[in-house]
Amino acid sequence: MQKLFVTGGAGFIGSALVRLLLAKLPECHITNFDALTYAGNLDNLQGLDERRHHFVKGDITVRHDVLSALTADTDAVINLAAESHVDRSIASADDFLRTNIFGTQVLLDAARERGVRRFLQVSTDEVMGSLPEDDGAYFTEHSPFAPNSPYAASKAAAEHLVRAAHHTFGLDTVITRCGNNYGPRQFPEKFLPLAISNALSNESIPVYGDGQNVRDWIYVEDHCRGIIKALETGRPGSVLNFGARNERRNIDVVESLLDVLGKPRSLIRFVKDRLGHDRRYAIDPSLAEAELAWLPEETWESGLQKTIQWYRENKDWIARTRSGSYRDYYKQQYGTEVGAS
């Protein structure tokens, strides 16, 4: 039986990956290691096969926690544990540096100590900064790092540590990057779930600046299928970008979901732009397509329909999740509830 150690597996992408791993790899056993900070949610793990999925509450920055949970027969570590929200990193970077940088090094050290076969680091296109607004430029695996937020800088530093572990110690590593994920169970501080839940309640939807910022959107299960392929067949030491070739302006994203929901566009409310807001992200996924035989299965339209349907059917989940502190946090920091990408 293949034994996998997934960090951050109670979060949005992490829980989607855990579910897909259990479905796609019937012989795998997963240790799901998560600190259950504000974005980690045990509700995301409901219904999983407890014979093949074992949850451990722990902090990746605490060496004892990690070494206690990571067994010597583990085949791979998949690191999704991260502080991930740009606005929070602008307000205070401390947690981002601690978790995203130091935590990654703790995991790398533990993986070497336990003799883990492969270490897969899930990163972000934001490490490469912002692209020109023309549609001829794309991020590739060789694009230079140019992070423009504390969050992006912390993820870039984590990538450097993973590369160093491969080069210096010979650890079998793979780094994956992706654009904006969307789909079920995404914490509602993020742009799309905030917009959907607000629209369902006929509340205004905040959009940063002029709404012209462009993001490359990928349905979360498509991203997770790419991670699994990279885990299974990615070259040691490689970096792989996953994108759905689906660039959308933020204003177009909001208008699309309002149209699907039959809600008026008057719900859109433009708010003061984020500090250092990157203008455009766009990913060239050609390498992953060629080396992994990976392609996204969802279109923007089909993925959006699935996402909206899940939030319609899970209003209790939204209510429980939104009862946390993030509303007060944003009102204190920005005078508004901001979830714009």
Q: Give catalytic residues, as residue numbers.
A: 125-126, 151
Name, in order, each residue with C-beta under 8 angstroms of 175's C-beta and a sequence gap of 6 or more: 120, 121, 123, 159, 162, 163, 238, 239, 240
What distance in Å separates the CA atoms of residue 112 and residue 166, rounded to the nearest whole number?
Answer: 10
- Vertex 271 angle, CA 265 and 272, to 5°: 155
CB 269 within 8 A of CB 201: no
* Residue 271 DSSP label: E
Task: List C-alpha distances in Å: 87 to 96, 115, 174.
Answer: 11, 37, 28
Strand-strand pairing, 118-122 and 29-34:
unpaired
Question: If you search the block for the tokens 């012209």, which residue do you land on?
Answer: 212
The DSSP secondary structure of 88-117, one letter per residue, reads: HHHH--HHHIIIIIIHHHHHHHHHHHHT-S
CA distance 336 to 324: 16
| 239 φψ region: left (φ > 0), alpha (ψ -120 to 50), beta (else) | beta
Q: Identity (one letter) of the amino acid at 93?
A: A
Q: Which residues contact 98 (CB under 8 A, 6 or more apart)?
A: 61
61: nearest Cα among 31, 93, 99, 110: 99
- Return the closest-CA partner of residue 30 out of 284, 172, 228: 228
